[in-house]
């Protein structure tokens, strides 16, 4: 171990660590990195490949410049939702051999003081941050992010999530280290009992990352497990390997520089679903983080009983419109939420609900049709204001969703308020980029919970009365597993009613967001994200962090030293 | 709700709550109740029924003096390991109807400020404490406790465990309640974002209690769940219903006095194993505490996927003897551990390991045979010193274990160092009370991990060398799921070696206990107990408490008030 190097890093990042630990305790939003895009990144456009060009069609090694086993099979075939085939290949070892290496690396990693792990990992985050431009481009070409979304969600906010996890684990491990001594009275205080408490990592940590927010979600788990002392093997979504591969390159490189075994962090990019399942059942795996589909989370819980499962599933956030003191703010806020990444986040506004009575506003009551037209105009205006649509819209990452939006069924024709369509992109004509489609669905013409209307289609449901609105929203929450609910209401009783609904279903409630903070946003170091279901676990809730540790105790009777 | 009454209780117990919260933070052993038996209890003997006499053969109602449904089926049939059939009957409702009542009661209980729950529950503990004499007798006649054990484990230490859980949940819920406000900059500070954080109970809590420590283990879970706001249904071991029934009587009575629905805490005493399993799969159950057999814990984990499972399984603690600076202290400490409750605790010394080289002591090297003789003499002397054997030994609660000890197989005759046998009891000749049997098992004559030698039989294994000793101990730890390891060693390397072994298997390590603090002891408010396996969870570790809560957040944009 290169102790001198690590000590330099500890000094370099000590202040950041203290700020992060204060932020998580007080839940005061804090940004370690500037939210404003620097000039260099502002010039990027979604269609251009930039630094990715040289990676196309290559075999990407996790340890460039180091010996690699050329006999390993390769997998790959990612394709940008903006058009280009990336066709990058990744060599894949067997999981069993990776698990052996991980356990061997753990012997070193777990035995370090947690402060050493924090210092090394904060240095890793700094190096990831230095590659922000690359990660911004990767966010666009892997997850179809808009420029702003890619800069935030795939780069600087993901890096902040990493720091958040390091801070939580640093705090937890510091507080859990305790030495308590007490004299033993029956020995006439000649002997004492010393209790030593400490934590240790639960063991090998398996992390399945997802497609739309591979780093933002992935970093929270990866850095939490690493900070706890667990070795990590990442199983990236087969369509989103690149952001993890680049991350792991940087971290392994830093570990090597610290004189630590790089196998503390490995990747298995096998796209084979049998192999992906078998990995979860490997007896050495003691912790599984998964974000994605609920059925796979259920499978893990039932079939990987040797491990703790921490799952983040579902999404789809309903919006309830009752009344507002800032109608224009409401419209602008919603229009932005629907355009940003073309509404593909699990926290994006999905399915809007209002009653036939419309929305009470200082301008008078706004009827549902009027609301639909106003929202349409606001979306058009917002897109007109953008220097390029790629700064705000996203490319549709799911091909079926893309096809769905291009072919709205004939029987819905009368419901269309705004028909989103292909957006002209500066470079690529094959981009699956679409602007939002809005449907106005009159009472009783549809079962809100059953409609298959994926983004960028947003249905606005008009309900005959308030109770039917609540019932339909509740059905959506249950069926689509809503992480959040956005509510616009001035009436205290209505807020309380929806609060009960949200809390009953463990959904984050966002009320009257009319400025430029959006219901889909989640302030790192402050907001709770996720945490539904018995085996789900939210960022910024205790179990997400403490679940990676076990508590140890040694009791020793000794002579009292004179 | 009787707010005046509850406020009185809050005042009455405020000091105790603060002391308990300090103790859990600092992990300084603290006793809310005096460990010394009061004169009245010192006069009790194991064979006498005392206050239990009037319960024999009765139907015990959980709500004496209140309406009960006489049409319900009854179950019962407990038998004291000291002889008498208790034959107390308990009426059993269907679990589904109990779950409905629990959810209805939860609406009130979960909505109270957590400080109200803490106050009510601390009052319940005071009332349980007032019945310490009764619970001491129950401990003897249900679990076969000795008098001292019953006073401690079934009464005052169980009550302390309850306070410990209340303190943990009070602290957690206080700290999680947070209101954070920040101005929204894009609205020129005219509007602000308010974040409100709170916790809420995960839902219906099912608690399976066990036979040897029904209250000590059970109270930790019951009071933690209740303090979190969960309604609780207790499923007692069919052979140990009484201590829970009496507890629940007292708590329901207190709830009624507080003007709160007594169905916050219910009991289902069905002995039917199918019904006991079906309860775990009821969709309303969100949390399951289980202490007992590992195979049932595994079944729960695989088959009750709708719930969090917190299990405490196994036991059997090996003792490793290498060297000591206080040989007489070592012998006395071990002798006491083997006699106390006749060694039936999961933390009692089970299987002693030493090498053919014997034990290094200030008196010279003690050969294995000499050690065996010294331990035998110490046990004899200790039993002679007792005013009555019932003050220290226990009755064997498991009938098969009792039969086993009475019929040591012929081929083991040469291994017998001390043949324990029936102890004369003041009252009851049918008591299954036995003093310890010691076997000295020479190298290679046995597979230490496979020997079926339940308490009160204790095998002393002599191993050919240190490595074989470590291997055999490790096998025992894995197979019998050791919660703790006791080590006697003066050599730092040996301590480090066994420390690695203990920590690798998540066992509590107790080193060189030679005074009157025993490896089987666990200081409430300080020591960790349990916490092995992914879904096991230890007392005094964060997950045991935080697992009962979920974290909520409401975010609201509002005008800044001028």
Question: Does the CB of A512 have a partner CB in chain B at under 8 Å?
Answer: yes
Q: From A172, which residue of chain B is nearest by alpha-carbon distance? A: B542
Verify whether the Cβ–Cβ distance A553 to B527 is below 8 Å: yes
Give yes or no for residue B535 having a pLDDT over 80: no
- In terms of phi and psi (left: phi > 0; alpha: psi -120 to 50; beta: otherwise), the region of A505 is alpha
Calculate how close chain B gets to A557, using CA atoms only, in Å.
5
Tell me which of B298, B539, B540, B553 to substitute to probe the interface with A (most A C-beta atoms closer than 10 Å): B553
Task: Annotate A517-539 with b (16+ C-beta within 10 A) or e (fewer).
Answer: bbbbbbbbbbbbbbbbbbbbbbb
What pLDDT does residue A534 have?
61
Give yes or no for residue A70 having a pLDDT over 90: no
Question: Does the CB of B93 have a partner CB in chain A at under 8 Å?
Answer: no
What pLDDT does residue A446 have?
65
Of B298, B546, B553, the CB nearest to A528: B553
pLDDT, tens digit, for every residue of A538-552?
999 999 999 999 999
Give yes or no for residue A426 having a pLDDT over 60: no
| Chain length of chain A | 562
What pLDDT does residue B448 have?
63
DSSP secondary structure of B521-532: ---TTT--B---
Give yes or no for residue A18 having a pLDDT over 80: yes
Of B195, B510, B516, the CB nearest to A526: B195
pLDDT classification of B427: cutoffs 50, 70, 90: low
CA–CA dist A481, A506 (Å, integer): 9
Of B308, B514, B540, the CB nearest to A534: B308
Tell me which of B286, B298, B535, B542 to substitute to probe the interface with A (most A C-beta atoms closer than 10 Å): B542
Give yes or no for residue A457 having a pLDDT over 80: yes
Beta-strand runs (E) in B419-456: 437-441
DSSP 3-state assignment of B376?
Answer: helix
CA–CA dist B288, B300 (Å, integer): 8
CA–CA dist A404, B125 (Å, integer): 62
Ramachandran angles phi, psi of A228, nearest 5°: -75, -15
Find the mean pLDDT for residues B41-69.
85
Token digits for A121? 């990992």
Supply the angle between the helices A273-280 and A95-109 in degrees, to the nearest 10. 40
Verify whether the Cβ–Cβ distance B534 to A509 is below 8 Å: no
Q: Which residue has tokens 């419209």?
A: A331
Question: Does the CB of B204 have a partner CB in chain A at under 8 Å?
Answer: no
Give yes or no for residue B201 having a pLDDT over 70: yes
Find the mean pLDDT for residues B74-99.
92
pLDDT, tens digit, for every residue of B127-161?
999 999 999 999 999 999 999 999 999 999 999 99
Mark which residues 130-189 of B lie under 8 Å from A by CB: 172, 178, 180, 182, 184, 186-187
Q: How many CB atoms lie within 10 A of CB B176?
A: 18
Question: Does the CB of A332 have a partner CB in chain B at under 8 Å?
Answer: no
What pLDDT does residue A479 have?
87
Verify whether the Cβ–Cβ distance A535 to B308 is below 8 Å: yes
What pLDDT does residue A460 have?
96
Burial of A256 (0-12, 13-18, 19+ CB in 10 A): middle
Is the link from the previous residue into A134 a cis peptide, with omega within 30 of 0?
no
In terms of Cα–Cα distance, which of B219, B201, B207 is closest to B279? B207
Give yes or no for residue B35 having a pLDDT over 90: yes
Question: Does the CB of A524 have a partner CB in chain B at under 8 Å?
Answer: no
Q: Are A484 and A317 in contact (CB under 8 A)?
A: yes
What pLDDT does residue B220 have?
97
What pLDDT does residue B69 have?
76
DSSP 3-state assignment of A77?
Answer: coil
What pLDDT does residue A270 have?
95
Supply the angle between the helices A242-257 and A132-143 in degrees, to the nearest 10. 150
Verify whether the Cβ–Cβ distance B508 to A308 is below 8 Å: no
Verify whether the Cβ–Cβ distance A551 to B528 is below 8 Å: yes
Verify whether the Cβ–Cβ distance B302 to A307 is below 8 Å: no
Which value does ipTM take for this structure? 0.93
What pLDDT does residue B534 have?
61
| Averaged confidence pLDDT in chain A | 92
Chain A hits for B534, Cβ within 8 Å: 202, 286-287, 305-308
What pLDDT does residue A442 have?
93
Architecture of domain A3-25+57-271+531-555: 3-Layer(aba) Sandwich (3.40)
* Percent of the residues in chain B that have a pLDDT greater than 90, as a whole number: 75
Q: Are A210 and A292 in contact (CB under 8 A)?
A: yes
CA–CA dist A366, A372 (Å, integer): 10
Verify whether the Cβ–Cβ distance A499 to B542 is below 8 Å: no
Q: Which residues are bridge partners to B365 per DSSP? A: B360
Chain A hits for B528, Cβ within 8 Å: 197, 551-553
pLDDT, tens digit, for every residue of B326-376?
999 999 999 999 999 999 998 999 899 999 999 999 999 999 999 999 999
Verify whether the Cβ–Cβ distance A302 to B305 is below 8 Å: yes
What pLDDT does residue A84 have?
85
* Percent of the residues in chain B that have a pLDDT greater than 70, as a whole number: 97
Give yes or no for residue A185 having a pLDDT over 90: no
DSSP 3-state assignment of B417?
Answer: strand
What pLDDT does residue B388 have?
79
Verify whether the Cβ–Cβ distance B516 to A184 is below 8 Å: yes
Give the right CATH number for A317-511 from 3.40.309.10, 1.10.3210.10, 3.40.50.300, 1.10.10.60: 3.40.309.10
Verify whether the Cβ–Cβ distance B27 to A197 is below 8 Å: yes
pLDDT classification of B64: cutoffs 50, 70, 90: confident
What pLDDT does residue B562 have?
61
How far lies A14's CA from each of A19, A117, A180, A452, A534, in Å?
Answer: 9, 13, 28, 50, 36
What pLDDT does residue A175 have?
94
DSSP secondary structure of B498-521: HHHHHHHTT-EEEE---SS--TT-
pLDDT classification of A462: cutoffs 50, 70, 90: very high
Find the mean pLDDT for residues B391-406.
90
Question: Does the CB of A531 have a partner CB in chain B at under 8 Å?
Answer: yes
What pLDDT does residue B316 have?
81
Chain B hits for A285, Cβ within 8 Å: none
- In terms of phi and psi (left: phi > 0; alpha: psi -120 to 50; beta: otherwise), the region of B113 is beta
pLDDT classification of B410: cutoffs 50, 70, 90: confident
What pLDDT does residue B48 have?
79
Chain A hits for B552, Cβ within 8 Å: 503, 506, 528
Supply the angle between the helices B132-143 and B214-228 in degrees, to the nearest 10. 120
Of B287, B540, B543, the CB nearest to A546: B543
Give yes or no for residue B387 having a pLDDT over 90: no
pLDDT, tens digit, for every residue of A275-285?
999 999 999 99
pLDDT, tens digit, for every residue of B2-31?
999 999 999 999 999 999 999 999 998 899
Q: Which residues are bridge partners to A419 per DSSP? A: none
Could you give the residue ranges of the DSSP H alpha helices within A110-179?
114-130, 132-143, 147-149, 157-176
Calculate how close chain A gets to B491, using CA atoms only, in Å.
13
Chain A hits for B517, Cβ within 8 Å: 184, 186, 193, 557
Question: Does the CB of B551 have a partner CB in chain A at under 8 Å?
Answer: yes
What pLDDT does residue B244 have?
98
Q: Are B457 and B439 in contact (CB under 8 A)?
A: yes
- CB pairs below 8 Å between A and B: how many? 160
Question: Does the CB of B305 have a partner CB in chain A at under 8 Å?
Answer: yes
Give yes or no for residue B445 having a pLDDT over 80: no
What pLDDT does residue B190 have?
86
pLDDT classification of B426: cutoffs 50, 70, 90: low
Higher pLDDT, B432 or A531: B432
Give yes or no for residue B561 having a pLDDT over 90: no
What pLDDT does residue A388 have?
79
CA–CA dist B138, B78 (Å, integer): 11
DSSP secondary structure of B162-200: HHHHHHHHHHHHHHH-EEEEEE-GGGTTSEEEEEEEEEE
Q: From A512, which residue of chain B is nearest by alpha-carbon distance? A: B557
pLDDT, tens digit, for every residue of B227-242?
999 999 999 999 999 9
CA–CA dist B324, B365 (Å, integer): 10
User: Which DSSP state fits A397?
Assistant: S
pLDDT, tens digit, for every residue of A222-274?
999 999 999 999 999 999 999 999 999 999 999 999 999 999 999 999 999 99
Element (H, E) at B160: helix B157-176
Calculated CA dihedral for residues A395, A397, A403, A405, nearest 10 degrees: -60
pLDDT classification of A65: cutoffs 50, 70, 90: confident
CA–CA dist B460, A164 (Å, integer): 51
User: Domain locations in chain B?
Assistant: 3-313+537-555, 317-511
The side-by-side arrangement of strands in the sheet containing B457-463 is A178-183, A191-201, A549-559, B508-511, B484-488, B317-321, B349-355, B457-463, B437-441, B416-418
Ramachandran angles phi, psi of B61, nearest 5°: -90, 140
Verify whether the Cβ–Cβ distance A187 to B553 is below 8 Å: no
Q: From B526, which residue of chain A is nearest by alpha-carbon distance? A: A195
Burial of A403 (0-12, 13-18, 19+ CB in 10 A): exposed
Chain A hits for B486, Cβ within 8 Å: none
Find the mean pLDDT for residues B73-98.
92
List, as own/partner pairs, every contact residues A36-45 make where C-beta atoms lie below 8 angstroms and the sequence separation is at least 24, other chains included: A37/A147, A37/A148, A37/A151, A40/A133, A41/A132, A41/A133, A41/A136, A41/A147, A41/A151, A42/A147, A44/A133, A44/A136, A44/A137, A44/A140, A44/A147, A45/A147, A45/A388, A45/A390, A45/A425, A45/A426, A45/A427
pLDDT classification of B499: cutoffs 50, 70, 90: very high
Burial of A124 (0-12, 13-18, 19+ CB in 10 A): buried
Chain B hits for A499, Cβ within 8 Å: 554
Lowest mean pLDDT among A262-276, A408-422, A444-458: A444-458
Of A193, A514, A534, the CB nearest to B306: A534
Calculate how close chain B gets to A546, using CA atoms only, in Å.
7
Q: Which residue has tokens 């709550």?
A: B17
How far lies A30's CA from each of A64, A124, A166, B70, B377, in Å?
Answer: 35, 20, 15, 62, 68
Give yes or no for residue A424 having a pLDDT over 70: no
Q: Which residues are bridge partners to A232 per DSSP? A: A205, A265
- In terms of phi and psi (left: phi > 0; alpha: psi -120 to 50; beta: otherwise), the region of B171 is alpha
pLDDT, tens digit, for every residue of A323-368?
999 999 999 999 999 999 999 998 999 899 999 999 999 999 999 9
Q: What angle do CA B288, B106, B194 make, to 5 degrees?
A: 100
DSSP secondary structure of B244-279: HHHHHHHHHHHHHHTTS-GGGEEE-----HHHHHHH
What pLDDT does residue B425 have?
58
In terms of Cα–Cα distance, which of A51, A84, A90, A87 is closest to A72? A90
Upper half-sphere CA count for residue B195 (Cβ side, 13 Å): 23
Architecture of domain B3-313+537-555: 3-Layer(aba) Sandwich (3.40)
Find the mean pLDDT for residues A460-468.
95
Element (H, E) at B5: helix B3-26
pLDDT classification of A210: cutoffs 50, 70, 90: very high
Higher pLDDT, A413 or A90: A90
């Amino acid at each position: 171990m290169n102790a001198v190097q690590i000590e330099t890093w500890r000094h370099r990042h000590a202040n950041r660590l203290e700020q992060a630990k204060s932020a998580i305790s007080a839940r005061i939003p804090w940004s370690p990195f500037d939210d404003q895009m620097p000039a260099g990144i502002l010039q990027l456009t979604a269609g251009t490949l930039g630094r990715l060009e040289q990676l196309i069609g290559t075999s990407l090694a996790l340890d460039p410049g180091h010996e690699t086993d050329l006999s390993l099979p390769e997998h790959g075939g990612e394709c940008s939702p903006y058009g280009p085939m990336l066709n990058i290949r990744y060599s894949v070892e067997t999981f069993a051999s990776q698990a052996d290496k991980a356990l061997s690396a753990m012997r070193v990693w777990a035995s370090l003081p947690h402060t050493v792990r924090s210092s090394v990992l904060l240095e890793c985050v700094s190096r990831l941050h230095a590659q922000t431009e690359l990660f911004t481009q990767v966010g666009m070409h892997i997850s179809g992010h808009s420029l702003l979304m890619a800069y935030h969600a795939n780069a600087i906010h993901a890096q902040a999530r990493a720091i958040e996890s390091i801070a939580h684990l640093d705090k937890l491990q510091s507080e859990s280290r305790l030495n308590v001594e007490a004299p033993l009275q029956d020995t006439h205080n000649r002997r004492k009992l010393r209790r030593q408490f400490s934590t240790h990592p639960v063991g090998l940590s398996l992390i399945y990352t997802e497609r739309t927010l591979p780093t933002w979600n992935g970093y929270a788990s990866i850095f939490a497990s690493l900070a706890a002392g667990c070795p990590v093997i990442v199983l990236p979504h087969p369509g989103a390997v690149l952001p993890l591969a680049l991350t792991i390159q940087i971290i392994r490189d830093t570990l090597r520089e610290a004189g630590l075994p790089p196998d503390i962090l490995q990747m298995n990019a096998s796209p084979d679903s049998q192999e992906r399942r078998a990995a979860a059942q490997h007896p050495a795996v003691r912790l599984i983080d998964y974000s994605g589909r609920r059925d796979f989370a259920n499978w893990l819980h039932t079939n990987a009983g040797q491990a703790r499962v921490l799952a983040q599933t579902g999404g789809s956030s309903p919006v309830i419109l009752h009344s507002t003191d800032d109608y224009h703010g409401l419209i602008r806020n919603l229009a932005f939420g629907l355009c940003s990444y073309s509404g593909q986040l699990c926290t994006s506004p999905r399915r809007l609900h209002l009653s036939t009575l419309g929305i009470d506003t200082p301008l008078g009551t706004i009827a549902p049709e009027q609301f639909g037209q106003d929202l349409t105009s606001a979306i058009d205006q917002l897109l007109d204001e953008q220097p390029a649509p790629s700064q705000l819209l996203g490319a549709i990452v799911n091909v079926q969703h893309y096809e769905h939006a291009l072919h709205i069924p004939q029987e819905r024709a009368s419901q269309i308020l705004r028909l989103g369509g292909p957006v002209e992109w500066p470079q690529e004509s094959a981009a699956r980029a679409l602007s939002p489609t809005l449907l106005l669905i009159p009472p009783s013409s549809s079962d809100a919970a059953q409609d298959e209307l994926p983004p960028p289609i947003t249905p606005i449901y008009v309900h005959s009365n308030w109770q039917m609105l609540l019932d339909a929203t509740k059905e959506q929450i249950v069926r689509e597993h809503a992480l959040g609910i956005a509510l616009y209401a001035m009436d205290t009783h209505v807020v309380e009613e929806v609060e009960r609904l949200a809390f009953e279903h463990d959904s984050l409630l966002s009320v009257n967001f009319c400025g430029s903070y959006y219901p889909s946003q989640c302030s790192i170091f402050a907001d709770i994200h996720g945490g539904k279901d018995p085996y789900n676990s939210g960022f910024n809730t205790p179990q997400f962090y403490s679940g990676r540790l076990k508590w140890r105790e040694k009791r020793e009777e000794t002579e009292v030293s004179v």
